[in-house]
Amino acid sequence: MASPSVGDLLSPETLARVDSYSLLARVVVEGFLGGLHRSLYQGFGSEFFQYRNYVPGDDPKYVDWKVYGRLDRFFTKVFQEETNLNCTLVLDTSASMAYQGERSRCSKLRYAAMLAACLAYLARRQGDNIGFCAYSQTLSAWLPPGRQHDGAQRVFTALQRLAPGGVADHRAALHFVGENLRRRGLVVLISDFHGLDDDLEAIARRLRFAHHDCLAFQVLDRDELDLPFSRTVRFVDSEGGEELTTAPDLVRSGYERAMQAFLERVRSVCLGQQVDYLTVPTTESLGHLLAAYLHRREALAR
Amino acid sequence: MIGMEYPWFLLGLALLAIPVLAHLMHRHIPRRLIFPSTRFLRRAELPPEGRRRLRDLLLLLLRLAALAAAVLAFARPYLRPRDDATAGLATAGRTTVFLVDVSASMGAHGVMERAADLLRTELKALAAGEQAALVLSADRVVASVPPGAAPAALIGRLSATPPRPVAGNHAAGLREAGTLLAGEGPRRLVVISDLQLADWRDCQAALPAGTEIRLLNPSEPAPPNVALISATTTVAGGRCRVTVEVRSFADTVQERQLAVRVGQERQVLSVSLPPLQVRRLAFAVASGDAVHGVAELSPDDYTVDDSLHFWAAAPPAVEVLAVIPGGDEAEGRDVQAFFLARGLESSAGAASRFRVRTVAADAFPMADLGAVPLVFVLGAAEHFDQASLDQLKRFCAEGGTGVCTPGTLAGQMVHGLRASGLFDARLLEVAGQTREKGQACALGWINPEGILADGFVDAEATDLFLFPVRQYLRLEVSAQQTVHLKMADGAPALVEQPVGRGRLLVLAVGLDTSWSDLPLSASFLPLVQEIAQAAVPAGYGITHLDCGQPLPEFRDLLGRPIAATGVPPEATTEPGVFAVGDRPVEVNVSRRESSAERVNPFDLTRRLSAGGPGATVGMPPPASGPAKPLPRWPAVALTAALLFLVEMGWTLWTDHGEVRGRLPARS
């Protein structure tokens, strides 16, 4: 019997059976890194950055005397600031995140939580500070990024306590996050962006102006993309509660057009505000997702 | 007026539940789904749910109508048009005739009381101006009260008339009711009867057109009944052996006590009767001089058939006619009659069952054979003229038994019988004793399935095959004839040929010593008695009458009527036993009344309404004949077919529309 591949192990079907987010994140990340053979973040840290001309007042200890001996000019060595990254995971737990289609092995919230756990594990491996925020109508969890040793474990524990419900107040939650992040860092927003498309540009601009690096993962169920139902269905909006009885066969094309327009609008807003954006169907392998994302980060870093 | 030929088909309307249930079971209930992206669904393209529901409802109604029409077509509806006289039928001025059955079966416990209650209720329900008449019917019209009488008079007339112990036949009653209904205006016939099948089976009446018929049964459900069917007696040595036949008409096992009483002697037996079974029970009672016996069952609801009167004494002797040659030929020829009379009239210590009367051949055509079951033609057939042969043939054809023995001109006998179609065998020769060895011929075989088999169960132990036969007729029999006795050489000795309902037996030897020593042998007496017993059925000589039947006219051998001295004219109206001369007569209530079979009310109503070519009830012809029903089932069947076609077309169109709606939209 052939042993399962890394891709099999990282599939949502497999990961959905793992209760512990800590174990889940380690399986994903270690499996993903092992398959990659090298760490993309290896070599990060404080080191010599560049030279600049000496100006009066500079500390003489930073003058490179060897260069002075060869060139007879004073150059001061400039080092990269010695600091850790603040990585804040912002997770939408509204009722719309509870949806699970027949083709998916887990709900959107569960998939988003697995994604957040993987990112937290990655950040902990490189010594970054981890923050976490979960919100719906109100904040349900808030862990500011800090230097605690058990920061990642606290995030895992908070992830396990998540429960979907309510109508998301994206503006208030992200306003709170922006106000409480003193240092610039990485803000990872994981949501389905339902109800956020009108406010997304303003929120992204606010975070961008605060010098935060933003990532946006739009988690969607496959049913939301292609509306696969055949018989007449009474649709009940998961957040608004409005009911709509219709034959999916008749409205599928219009629905798909509207959904594509929605995704395109979110993508264009994110591109305009220099926010890394990724559409994440819940049937997608977490390993492939992380690989695609990090390769993309690497390309952007060059 | 709308009616149905097969109304029970309307039970098929229960099938209407099938499409209703199918619609309920397949009614599409949309799945409720909590969905995040509902806002992208366009309401403008929603299917018209309301229109769809209405379409489903209309389709359901269409299917129900089609199915109902199909069921209705099977029930064969018809329309009976009303003529002008009955159009706008109203109770005002209507004439209602109540025909109440007072036959014996209505005498069951409580039935007449319920019949009176029904009559009382119906009389109370009469409208103002409505006239009522009453006909009490049994085997004839017992009483008739014309329209206009007060209801109390009708009730009183019915109460004063007990059920008659006769079998019902309501033809006369219906005729009387038709006469009473012959006037103008609306009319109605209300029949109050237990609707016994035998009483109504042959009744058909062309009542006046527009007569409304209503049937009321006061004996519903029919009570479990056990009846005494028959009693046969055999009297010997002062003792009477009575065999009683009991029949159960009940659906359950019945336990009864059966008693037989003859004179002062009475015996009782317990009998258990399975449902619808017949049992025979035998009693041996000392009869003495008594002639009247009664069998009695422990009573049930219908008591009339729980007793049976029978003749307990020996039946009268059976008259046997012996025809001998007349004139000079008779001299010395009556030896056969002598032996025959001795053989038949002798009996061991008891009165003989047979009495032989002798008549000359030339007087035979004048004899009255109505009271004679058996005729011996002893060497006289060869002297028969055509009238005598016709008389003999007629006698046999009507059920009698003739026995011919040869005389001096055996060839003429066989020729005459053959010519008149009485006997098909050919005479080969008159055979004699074998001269070579000096041995006489003898009988050698008896038919084990013939009429003599019972009397000669162990023929070898008798002298039947021992006495010498000096001469005999060698006959060549035909296929339709039966041989009961054969000679030792295989020649038939006693041949039977069926003639009409009776038969003719020809013996190959005469009954005198010139032919054989048979008359001198011990086997002679059982031989002739067995032949006579085969010709006389059991119980012969006793006349069985149902109550109400007229007393038949009895005649002696010479055709003279036997006076019914001491017998009252109404002797046959009540059960009992009496004798006319020496002819015993048993009178009992007809056992036809014991049956629990009922006529179908719908069939009876239709028969009484429409009449028919075989109507047994004469009616004055109505001014305009009874309206014929107009069949409506073809139109209903056509409607059903059209509805089914529309339903199929609609379903196909709807399915096509749904399939087309599921096709992917063009980009």
**Residue spans per domain, chain A:** 6-39+83-301, 48-79
Structure confidence at residue A265 (pLDDT): 92
CA–CA distance, B444 with B573 (Å, rounded to integer): 56
| CA-to-CA dists, residue B166 to A95, B215, B537, B571, angstroms | 94, 22, 27, 13
Structure confidence at residue B564 (pLDDT): 73
Q: How far is CA B243 from the centre of its chain?
A: 22
Which residue among A236, A253, A255 places its CB closest to the CB of B33?
Answer: A236
Does B26 or A62 have the greater pLDDT score?
A62
ipTM: 0.78
* Sign of the alpha-carbon dihedral angle for B585, B587, B593, B594: negative
- Prediction pTM value: 0.48
Structure confidence at residue B376 (pLDDT): 93
Q: How large is the average pLDDT for residues A18-26? A: 54
Q: Would you say how long chain B is, in residues?
A: 667
Structure confidence at residue B664 (pLDDT): 43
Structure confidence at residue A299 (pLDDT): 66
CA–CA distance, B13 with B249 (Å, rounded to integer): 35
Integer Rg of chain A from CA: 23
Q: Which pLDDT band holds residue A45 (cuts at 50, 70, 90)?
A: very low
The secondary element (H helix, E strand) that includes residue B378 is strand B374-378
CA–CA distance, A187 with B204 (Å, rounded to integer): 106
Structure confidence at residue B618 (pLDDT): 36
Which residue among A233, A252, A254 places its CB closest to the CB of B33?
Answer: A233
Quick one: residue A169, left, alpha or beta (phi over 0 = left, psi -120 to 50 = alpha)? beta
Cβ neighbour number for residue A101 with a 10 Å cutoff: 22
For B95-222+597-610, CATH number out of 2.60.40.10, 3.40.50.410, 3.40.50.1220, 1.10.357.10 equals: 3.40.50.410
Which residue among A239, A245, A259 places its CB closest to the CB of B30?
Answer: A245
Contact between A107 and A114 under an 8 Å Cβ cutoff? The reply is: no
Kindly report the nearest CA distance between residue A254 and chain B, in angstroms: 7
CATH code 3.30.1330.10 for B226-314+563-594: no
Closest listed residue to residue A289, CA positions, set A276, A300, A301, A280:
A280
Query: What is the third-level CATH fold of A6-39+83-301?
Result: Rossmann fold (3.40.50)
Sheet holding A213-220, edge to edge: A139-143, A129-135, A86-92, A186-191, A213-220, A276-281
CATH class of B332-535: alpha beta
Please indicate whether, in this complex, the C-beta atoms of B45 and A254 are within 8 angstroms of each other.
yes
**HSE of A267 in the Cβ direction (CA atoms, 13 Å)?**
9
Cβ neighbour number for residue A134 with a 10 Å cutoff: 26
Tokens of B144: 């008739």
Q: In a 3-state reduction of DSSP, which class is residue B632?
A: coil
Q: How large is the average pLDDT for residues A265-269? A: 92
User: Mutate which of A234, A262, A263 to test chain B, going by most B C-beta atoms within 10 A?
Assistant: A234
Question: To 10 degrees, what angle do helices A200-209 and A170-180 make?
Answer: 0
Contact between A96 and A105 under an 8 Å Cβ cutoff? The reply is: no
- pLDDT tens digits along B191-233: 999 888 888 877 776 678 778 888 888 887 777 888 898 888 8
**Residue spans per domain, chain B:** 2-80+633-662, 95-222+597-610, 226-314+563-594, 332-535
- Mean pLDDT across chain B, nearest whole number? 81
Q: Which residues in chain B come in under a pLDDT of 70?
A: 1, 27-28, 42-53, 81-92, 205-206, 327-333, 347-351, 433-440, 538-539, 557-559, 610-628, 655-667
All residues at 6 or more sequence positions from B25 whose CB lies less than 8 Å from its CB, including other chains:
none
All residues at 6 or more sequence positions from B596 whose CB lies less than 8 Å from its CB, including other chains:
B222, B225, B249, B250
User: Mutate which of B29, B35, B52, B663 to test chain A, going by most A C-beta atoms within 10 A?
Assistant: B35
> Long-range contacts of range B132-135, CB-CB < 8 Å, 24 or more positions apart?
B132/B95, B132/B96, B132/B97, B132/B98, B133/B95, B133/B96, B133/B97, B133/B98, B133/B177, B133/B180, B134/B97, B134/B98, B134/B100, B134/B158, B135/B97, B135/B98, B135/B99, B135/B100, B135/B173, B135/B176, B135/B177, B135/B180
Q: Would you say how long chain A is, in residues?
A: 302
CA–CA distance, A214 with B460 (Å, rounded to integer): 134
Instruction: Choose the most confident range, by mean pLDDT, from A6-20, A30-44, B319-333.
Output: B319-333
Structure confidence at residue A151 (pLDDT): 79
Structure confidence at residue B408 (pLDDT): 84
All residues at 6 or more sequence positions from B571 whose CB lies less than 8 Å from its CB, including other chains:
B551, B578, B585, B587
Closest residue in B to A95 (Cα) is B36
Kindly report the nearest CA distance between residue A221 and chain B, in angstroms: 9
| CA-to-CA dists, residue B169 to A30, B102, B160, B225, B288, angstroms | 110, 10, 21, 21, 40
Structure confidence at residue B505 (pLDDT): 93
* pLDDT at position A251 over 90: no
Closest listed residue to residue B220, CA positions, set B598, B608, B595:
B598
Tokens of B4: 């149905």
B95-222+597-610 and B332-535: identical CATH topology: yes
Kindly report the nearest CA distance between residue A227 and chain B, in angstroms: 10
Size of interface A-B (CB pairs under 8 A): 98
Please indicate whether, in this complex, the C-beta atoms of A250 and B33 are within 8 angstroms of each other.
no
Integer Rg of chain B from CA: 38
Please indicate whether, in this complex, the C-beta atoms of B45 and A224 are within 8 angstroms of each other.
no
Q: In a 3-state reduction of DSSP, which class is residue B578?
A: strand
Helices (H), B536-632: 601-610
Closest residue in A to B664 (Cα) is A249
Interface membership of A255 toward B (CB under 8 Å): yes
